[in-house]
Amino acid sequence: MEPKGKKILIADDEPDILEILSYNLTREGYETITAKDGEDAIQKARLYKPDLIMLDVMMPNKNGMEVCKLLRTQPVYQDTLIIFLTALSDETSHIKGLEYGADDFISKPVSPKILVSKVNALFRRIQKPDDKTIQTGSIIIDPVKFVVTINGQDIVLAKKEFELLHLLATKPGRVFLRNEILSQIWGTEVIVGDRTIDVHIRKIRQKLGIDCITTVKGVGYKMVV
Amino acid sequence: MEPKGKKILIADDEPDILEILSYNLTREGYETITAKDGEDAIQKARLYKPDLIMLDVMMPNKNGMEVCKLLRTQPVYQDTLIIFLTALSDETSHIKGLEYGADDFISKPVSPKILVSKVNALFRRIQKPDDKTIQTGSIIIDPVKFVVTINGQDIVLAKKEFELLHLLATKPGRVFLRNEILSQIWGTEVIVGDRTIDVHIRKIRQKLGIDCITTVKGVGYKMVV
DNA sequence: TTTTGCGTAAACATATTGTTAAGATGGAAC
DNA sequence: GTTCCATCTTAACAATATGTTTACGCAAAA
């Protein structure tokens, strides 16, 4: 199977389980990293930035719940998928796990078929929300990479310019009032003149080359569809 | 079968066994070296630095256990895999072997299928921790060796510098906010000034020579793709 | 014609980062 | 213990990108 470019961290204190999970996921094209306990999992997570983390609930040196809780507090792991490995019919863990932000559960003993299908399903599900890119027409806006790609060419925008374009692109065709724009980009605290928006709009139009922003006189601006 | 680039040293006093093992492993793509007794094994190990050593427990001129014990005392062979060849149901050897740092056992008479699968499994297990390198463009980052290689030339980075570069390289193209960087590299406990990050970034850029880190003003830093 | 709202360019102000050097720290060698 | 060394951190200042305002022009609506 061709590589999927996804890293999976597996944490369990039983080497046999690690072996089985790792083998099956590797065969599916995933890259796997293993950890033998909670502390090890946290360290490896920090090191490898996996896309998915599988945590055994019962582990020495911080159990799965604790690890999950800890990771979720950090913004970097906000979008990381987390699966718990639980004993069959362990309802308490399920409820607690959901509170801590688990994405799914797999019961032991692990069926390779279920394992693989669940993992695939999760990655399929986040495919959209994970890349928060917005595409309208030939313009691709990627807030993660902080670049605007247009016809395959990357264009660098300044922070405010980017935020402004991104805001308009969230609802293409919808008109954003000047007030809306001000409160969204600048916040309610700072007060800037009206011309400020114009100037930024101009710079965006200039840098993009394409006229993708329409002026609605007396109202605001909108993205063309 | 294509070569795996792994060397296996087989030590046994029975030529027939050497023949069988060597044949099956070679057919799997491994490179094999044979030794006829304990002393010979030690000498060949020193000479060839094999990735795996298979030791017959009963051998003239130092038996398998003695050889294992001797090798394990030397740091060079700390990570070398060692498999013992034992008579069927030789419990004592198993227990002793584990004490001496054996990784697995194979009972005689040897089944080629079991042999191959065990060897493969062992290499698969150690493959993960060994394969931690990140490569982006011409830059190779190896957290194990703690070395950054760029165009075949090794560059030495200090700890913080290395961690920072490594963090950015985990998700090339993605922008890491200053907060993220701080919490990842420095943790939430310690508080360092903003300039600290800049200084480290500068040192990295200086040492690498290539401008592989882009600064996104008001946002953070990112690795170029 | 007058008014209103927006576009544009340049000037200005500010925030953010780059750079350098100098202490602070801690570990290794002696 | 002392000395040495590399690393880390901070502070001060320079450089630059960015954000904002100003001033003026234009066009369409009243």
Locate the DSSP E strands across B57-114. 81-87, 104-108
pLDDT of residue B130: 42
With a cut of 50, list the residues of chain B below it in pLDDT.
Answer: 128-130
User: Which positions on chain D have an atom < 7 Å from some protein CB?
Assistant: 6-12, 17-23
pLDDT exceeds 70 at position A118: yes
Specify the pairing of strand B139-142 against strand B147-150. antiparallel
Q: Choose the mutation target among B103, B117, B125 for the interface with A, i.e. most A CBs under 10 Å.
A: B125
CATH code, residues A7-130: 3.40.50.2300
Structure tokens at A13: 């204190």
Q: Of A19, A48, A159, which has the smallest distance from its Cβ to B170's Cβ?
A: A48
pLDDT exceeds 80 at position A86: yes
Q: What is the pLDDT of residues A47-85, one digit of tens each?
A: 888 999 999 998 988 888 889 988 887 767 877 889 888
CA distance B193 to B56: 60
pLDDT exceeds 80 at position A182: yes
Nearest by Cα to B55 from B73, B70, B37, B77: B37
Domain spans of chain A, in order of start: 7-130, 134-223
- Are A47 and B183 a contacting pair at CB < 8 A? no
Q: Is the CB of B199 under 7 A from strand C?
A: yes
Chain A: residue whose CA lies nearest to B121:
A19
Q: What is the pLDDT of residues A9-33, one digit of tens each?
A: 999 998 888 988 998 888 888 889 9
pLDDT exceeds 60 at position A127: no
Name the CATH code of domain B157-223 (choices 1.10.10.10, 3.40.1390.30, 1.10.3720.10, 3.30.70.100): 1.10.10.10
- Are A146 and B180 a contacting pair at CB < 8 A? no
User: A134-223 sits in which CATH class?
Assistant: mainly alpha
A–B: how many Cβ contacts below 8 A?
A: 43
Say whether residue B143 is in contact with chain A using an 8 A CB cutoff: yes
pLDDT of residue B6: 85
**Looking at the DSSP assignment, which residues form a beta bridge with residue B175?**
B222
Specify the pairing of strand B81-87 against strand B52-56. parallel
What pLDDT band is residue A144 in, cutting at 50, 70 and 90?
Answer: confident
Query: Fold match between A7-130 and A134-223?
Result: no
**Looking at the DSSP assignment, which residues form a beta bridge with residue A106?**
A85
Sign of the Cα torsion B189, B194, B200, B204 reads positive
pLDDT of residue B128: 45
Q: What is the pLDDT of residues B92-139, one digit of tens each?
A: 666 666 667 777 778 777 777 778 877 876 776 565 444 567 888 889
Say whether residue A132 is in contact with chain B using an 8 A CB cutoff: no
